[in-house]
Copies of this chain bind each other. A is one copy, B any other.
């Protein structure tokens, strides 16, 4: 894909958890990935477009390399503390179909532990500082606590499904997503 396309694709895939990636991040990152050898410019045959005549630089189509695929798989499988906060977990989860069940269970349980900690912190505040905070702040904490409790239940459902060999919504997980056939 080229940058603009990649941005749109990621925006729909990660639409829930974050806004579209900015251009100030996108293009420098593509360059860094190319320098690292994880992606490369695709052949003209892959792009299927007529190169522009007058403009300085047309669209640049990138392709993941073999090394990039390896590195990507590694990144998805390894989990550190930042894997369990909102942004990190969202990205990992969105690419769960590229991982094995053990990795999925490990990340789901780590995320659950993280949310449970946040939940306990909020309960602590609500019980200990409720007289020191105004009504709106308290309402905000209650709303946050509610969200934590819902997410824990959601995670437990997912964990149960994984353990019993079911993917979300009761379907079998795709080890490799179906190939994309849309290239206008």
Interface residues of A (CB under 8 A from B): 12-13, 15-17, 19, 85, 90, 93-97, 118, 121-122, 125, 129, 132-141, 143-147, 150, 154, 158, 167-169, 171, 173-174, 177-178, 180, 182
Contact = CB atoms under 8 A, between A and B. Distances in A.
22 contacts: A12-B129, A12-B133, A13-B133, A13-B137, A15-B118, A15-B121, A15-B144, A16-B140, A16-B144, A19-B85, A90-B140, A94-B136, A96-B134, A132-B178, A132-B182, A134-B174, A135-B167, A135-B174, A136-B168, A139-B169, A146-B150, A147-B150
A168 B93 CA distance: 35
A88 to B, nearest CB: 13
Contact of A168 (B97, B118, B135, B173): B135
A36 to B, nearest CB: 26
A122 B16 contact: yes
A163 to B, nearest CB: 16
Chain B CB count within 10 A is highest, among A15, A134, A139, for: A134
A93 B140 contact: yes
B136 A173 contact: yes
Contacts of A121: 15
A140 B97 contact: no
